[in-house]
Amino acid sequence: MKVEPLRSCIACNEKKTKKELLRIVREEDGSYSLDLSGRKNGRGAYICPKLSCLEKAEKRKAFFRAFKENISEESLAKLREEIREIAE
């Protein structure tokens, strides 16, 4: 029996399997994107596939803690749109 590792959402701190969360990756060029495969290179953070968690992460400055830098408003808008598409 294989035990699947748990990951924590950076917004709500709920522990879930990797498949239940979305991975946000900071790529080498400094851009941010969703990693649906879970295999992209770069620093990553996990978040629930809900807009409410994305908003909560913004308010709590969870992106700064996870990525050690501020995330631009442009990148947040792009992530918000991608999560909105997945959540529907």
Mean pLDDT of the chain: 92
The answer to the question of residue 15 being in a domain is yes
Beta bridge partners of 24: 34, 45
The domain in which residue 26 lies consists of: 6-87
The answer to the question of residue 1 being in a domain is no
The CATH number of the domain where 80 resides is what? 3.30.1230.10
Whole-angstrom CA distances from 53 to 4, 39, 59, 65, 78 are: 23, 22, 10, 15, 15
Encode pLDDT of 41-68 as tens digits: 999 999 999 999 999 999 999 999 999 9
**Does the structure show a pLDDT above 80 at 82?**
yes
The answer to the question of residue 39 being in a domain is yes
> How many domains are there within the chain?
1
Six token digits for residue 26: 């900071």
Longest CA–CA span in the chain (Å) reads 43
Q: Are 48 and 16 in contact (CB under 8 A)?
A: yes
The answer to the question of residue 37 being in a domain is yes
The answer to the question of residue 17 being in a domain is yes
pTM: 0.90
